[in-house]
Amino acid sequence: MGKIGIQLCGSYLPKYRIDRNLIAASWGRSSLGGERTVANNDEDAITLAVEAARNCLHGDSLEKIDGLFFATTSAPYKEKMNSAVMASALDLNRELVTADFGYSLRAGTGALKAALDSVRCGSARRALVTAADCRLGYPRSDQEQSFGDGAAAVLIGDQDLLATLEGEYSICNEMHDVWRNPEDTFVRTWESRFILGEGYTNTMSEVVRGILKKYGLEPKDITRAVFPAPDPRTLQGLAKKLGFDMKTQVQDPLISSIGYCGAAQALLMLVAALEEAEPGDLLLLANYADGADALLFRATGEIGQRSSQRKLQTLLEQKLMLSSYARFLSYKGLIETLPGEPFRLFPSATATWREAGSILRGHGSRCQACGKTTFPIQRICYHCQSKDQFVEVPISNYQGEVFTFSLDNLAGRSDDPVVIQTIADLGEEKVRFYGMMTDCNPSVVQIGMPVELTFRRIYDGMGIHNYFWKLRPVNKEDVTNG
Amino acid sequence: MGSIKDKVAIIGMGCSKFGERWDMGAVDLAIEAVYEAYGDAGIEAKDLEACWLSTLMAPVIGVSGSLAADGLKLGNIPVIRNENWCTSGHIALLEACMAVASGAYDLVMALGVEKLKDTGFPGLGTGRGMHPVYEARRTSPGSFGLIAERYFKTYGIPMEEGKITMAKIEVKNHDNGSLCPKAHFRNQITVDTVLKAPIIAWPLGLFDCCGNSDGAACAIITTPEKARSFRADPIYLKGFGISTDAMIPHFRPDFSWTSFNALVNSSRKAYEMAGIKNPREELSLAEVHDCFSITELLIYEDFGFSPRGRAKEDVDSGFFTRQGGLPVNVDGGLKCFGHPVGASGLRMTYEVYKQLQGKADLPERQIKNPRLGLAHTFGGPPQISAVAILGNERG
């Protein structure tokens, strides 16, 4: 058996950030400094992971992907496969193994190891691993500030590798350090000195020393140590204890710019490391929770040749600052929005299942008689009235421009009052799409503005999360201006 | 295509006061309009042979025509409910006319009633229930805002000028409505008022949008042969056109958002039946669906009142004012009456009917020597349009 490893990687960060000083000031307490990502009110762990996967897979053929493993501790559905929604949104084949991993911040590396094992044993040719989290810390707690929302994805295979798997080592260690019960909204923690010392630092030390010993390596052999950490100071202590040079060897834990993204943090940092790696670099990923996983990857000559669609650095730069702590609480669902307008939309499991081609997969129909492409799928052509003479075409990767728009003050939520009603022409075929614009300052919208599609949770009703596509600006300046 | 030109006549109409009728339910509103119409036609409930009821909202489903049958004690006659979005009132009227023209009935009523102010919400609401996903958070102002943005872009009119043009339409409608005792809003406004108002759905501000009101209106219809036995001045149906287009035109490829097929088709069919070659010259007045100022502007062009892209010039010259070449929305339109959806088409018809009889409630708003009048509603996503042309002489 040849090498297995990572073929492609990508990440995704919500556009919204909040300055930690803003949270701190709202409570009259000290700030941890920096900022954190905040999922938009139309985003959740599923949509974040879909975006990360789209950034990862961009331009790659989807046919050979036959495994999809999703890791999160904030699954939108507690019973129902979240990765199945994702597989549709990514337009993956039906011949596919899907699995959800959860219940621990080690779910990310657990899913990664499962994907590596699947490819190694031949049960999957190419397995996509996604991880995303939107965890909640108690209001006023350190976690409220230190947590972030984000996602990452890696594609595992046995050829065209960016990085090869060089070693693995895991240990299990039961303790109550951070946990959440079924009825809990927020994470519970024991005393921080216990969980950081006895839990994090000692367990991480054990797994890192274990994998180095197993493969006859020393800390100096590691180019990049990728250690997700609850805070930068604890990471510094760990690095010193293990003999890694903080400045040259240790990957930025992303706490100051993004925050700790739960089950996604390990893969998010791995993607960040891969995007900066040189051929031959040896990366050590170690991930902690009730024990720890350690994995060794070596960057190949391909590294840097095939980059992610949008690198983490670009995602970091494209941001909109949340204007208030109140909006943060509302986006997090911790305070209710005004009931306002009743939705008269009744979710229908059967209708959305029947129309999943358009709604989730983002398929339009191309008329084989006249060539016109429309969205959503039309059985009878708008143009030539041919009946059932169409092929489905995926349009979710199309870019286009705004044809017309309205900034609707009646349609929004109380924490997000302006809905940008948008009509766009997408792709060379100018497929007409109608939807809402998201992640955009309304004042910058104009006819002709470049846009693309993003997968979002558009509303909830009857316990059903309704996912669909929205438009968003393509250019960085359209996100951040105004 | 056949024609029912001059084959039916309206012999009585009634219209409630429109507004926030907190003290009245749907049945009360209907009674107010219907008993005016009974009096106008000189009939009693027992004379009616059938009724077409137009209502959209209340209650949404499951009651067919019982609102009218129960409340008005219409006995055992058929009460046929009609729901066609904002065109419901017009289509109920035209269905009633077709039933008389067919010879099935001799004396029928079309009744439109809507009680929006019992819903607890100031607007019609977002999300229309037509599709669990595609309709999420779509509102009427949002949909019509899409027209405004595209229209002014297409014709190279800067938005600042476009906003002023739309404002002039509303200044005109408020001027008309200020003279109309049954209107909901009777205040006069200026262009400045319109421009300074809060934005509802950019570029449409508060005064670019019609309000939500309660109201009812109805018409009593018979054959032309019998009409004269009821009154000396019956009004005749000269032509009509109805057109229904794509469910959600928002997704329609190549759709211009500056013109609607339904508007063009419905008006052309109505002109053809009525024998109108040049509506700008031949029509004495028009009540059109001014749900938003931009809609009225678009209608001027789609109905052939103004050349393409040139409606602005007619607005600027005052062509559509009460004293102009073709007065439009002489009663203040939806802008001043509000839009109790199922009632609006019949309310507009009521104004045309009274004007054609020379019986406008105040002499200062009576059009001089009217001959032909048009009443129109436009609804749905928006894609349903209904036009009725009435005349005061039998051809």
Catalytic residue chosen out of the listed positions B174, B184, B289, B339: B339
Please judge whether B147 and A404 are an interchain contact, meaning their C-beta atoms are less than 8 angstroms apart.
yes
Please judge whether A408 and B255 are an interchain contact, meaning their C-beta atoms are less than 8 angstroms apart.
no
% of chain A at pLDDT higher than 90:
89
User: Shortest Cα distance from B133 to chain A (angstroms)?
Assistant: 7
* Residue A441 to residues A320, A330, A399, A422, A445, Cα–Cα distance (Å): 8, 18, 19, 13, 8
Write down the pLDDT at residue A391: 98
Please judge whether A407 and B201 are an interchain contact, meaning their C-beta atoms are less than 8 angstroms apart.
yes
Among the partner-chain residues B121, B127, B153, the one whose CB lies closest to the CB of A345 is B127
The average pLDDT across B219-226 equals: 98
Sorting pLDDT into bands at 50, 70 and 90, what band is A307?
low
Sorting pLDDT into bands at 50, 70 and 90, what band is B249?
confident
Write down the pLDDT at residue B60: 62
* Structural element, H or E, at residue A459: strand A450-461
Interface check B116 vs A, CB under 8 A? no
* Residue B208 to residues B169, B205, B293, Cα–Cα distance (Å): 9, 5, 5
Sorting pLDDT into bands at 50, 70 and 90, what band is B382?
confident
Please judge whether A405 and B146 are an interchain contact, meaning their C-beta atoms are less than 8 angstroms apart.
yes
Cα torsion for A198, A200, A202, A206, to the nearest 10°? 150
Write the pLDDT tens digit of every residue in B268-277. 999 999 999 9
Write the pLDDT tens digit of every residue in A278-297. 999 999 999 999 999 999 99
Write the pLDDT tens digit of every residue in A226-238. 999 999 999 999 9
The average pLDDT across B312-332 equals: 98
Q: How far apart are the C-alpha atoms of B286 and B270, rounded to whole Å?
A: 13
Sign of CA dihedral B309, B313, B315, B320: negative
Q: Inform me whether the pLDDT recorded for A107 exceeds 80.
A: yes
Kindly provide the residue ranges of all beta strands, DSSP E only, lying in A311-418, ordered along the sequence.
320-321, 363-367, 373-374, 390-394, 399-408
Write down the pLDDT at residue A475: 76
What value does the mean pLDDT of chain A take? Answer: 94
Residue B78's Cβ-count burial label (10 Å; 0-12, 13-18, 19+) is: middle
User: Shortest Cα distance from A274 to chain B (angstroms)?
Assistant: 38
Return left, alpha or beta for A31; rule: phi > 0 is left, psi -120 to 50 is alpha, else beta.
Answer: beta
Sorting pLDDT into bands at 50, 70 and 90, what band is A482?
very low
User: Shortest Cα distance from B23 to chain A (angstroms)?
Assistant: 23
Write the pLDDT tens digit of every residue in B347-364. 999 999 999 999 999 999
Interface check B210 vs A, CB under 8 A? no
Among the partner-chain residues B132, B149, B202, the one whose CB lies closest to the CB of A447 is B149
Q: Return residues 30-89 of B near A (CB < 8 Å).
A: none
Sorting pLDDT into bands at 50, 70 and 90, what band is B125?
low
**Least confident piece of the model among A30-44, A47-61, B324-338:** A47-61
Among the partner-chain residues B126, B146, B149, the one whose CB lies closest to the CB of A410 is B126
Write down the pLDDT at residue A478: 56
Sequence-ordered list of residues with C-beta below 8 angstroms from that of A425, at least 6 positions apart, any chain: A400, A401, A403, A431, A432, A433
Residues of A in contact with B128 (CB under 8 A): 344-345
Write down the pLDDT at residue B246: 77
Interface check B145 vs A, CB under 8 A? yes
Q: Coil, helix or strand for A281?
A: coil
Q: Inform me whether the pLDDT recorded for A339 exceeds 80.
A: no
Q: Inform me whether the pLDDT recorded for B309 exceeds 60.
A: yes
Per the CB < 8 A criterion, the answer to whether A296 and A282 are in contact is yes
Sorting pLDDT into bands at 50, 70 and 90, what band is B204?
very high
B209 catalytic? Reply is no
Q: Inform me whether the pLDDT recorded for B260 exceeds 50.
A: yes
Flag whether the ipTM exceeds 0.85. Answer: yes
Which of B116, B121, B133 best tests the A interface by mutation, with the highest count of A CBs <10 A? B133
User: Shortest Cα distance from A434 to chain B (angstroms)?
Assistant: 6
The average pLDDT across A50-62 equals: 88
What value does the mean pLDDT of chain B take? Answer: 94
B339 catalytic? Reply is yes
Per the CB < 8 A criterion, the answer to whether B11 and B220 are in contact is yes
Sorting pLDDT into bands at 50, 70 and 90, what band is A1?
low
**Which residues pair with residue A407 across a beta bridge?**
A420, B202
Write the pLDDT tens digit of every residue in A429-462. 999 999 999 999 999 999 999 999 999 999 888 8
Beta carbon pairs, A and B, within 8 Å:
146
Write down the pLDDT at residue B116: 87
Write down the pLDDT at residue B126: 65
Catalytic residue chosen out of the listed positions B86, B209, B218, B336: B86
% of chain A at pLDDT higher than 70:
96
Please judge whether A411 and B198 are an interchain contact, meaning their C-beta atoms are less than 8 angstroms apart.
no
Among the partner-chain residues A372, A421, A458, the one whose CB lies closest to the CB of B253 is A372
Which of A367, A421, A471 best tests the B interface by mutation, with the highest count of B CBs <10 A? A421
Write the pLDDT tens digit of every residue in B150-185. 999 999 999 999 999 999 999 999 999 999 999 999
Write down the pLDDT at residue A224: 98
Please judge whether B198 and A409 are an interchain contact, meaning their C-beta atoms are less than 8 angstroms apart.
yes
* Structural element, H or E, at residue A150: strand A150-157
Among the partner-chain residues A375, A406, A432, the one whose CB lies closest to the CB of B255 is A432
The average pLDDT across A210-228 equals: 98
The average pLDDT across B240-249 equals: 88
Q: Inform me whether the pLDDT recorded for B121 exceeds 90.
A: no
Q: Could you tell me which residues of chain A have a Cβ less than 8 Å from any Cβ in chain B?
A: 341-348, 351-352, 355, 359, 372-376, 382-383, 403-412, 419, 421, 423, 430-434, 436, 442, 447, 458-459, 461, 466, 468
- Annotate B346-389 with three-state secondary structure: HHHHHHHHHHHCCCCCCHHHCCCCCCEEEEEEEECCCCEEEEEE
pTM: 0.94
User: Shortest Cα distance from B105 to chain A (angstroms)?
Assistant: 38
The closest alpha carbon to A452, from A464, A467, A438, A462, belongs to: A438
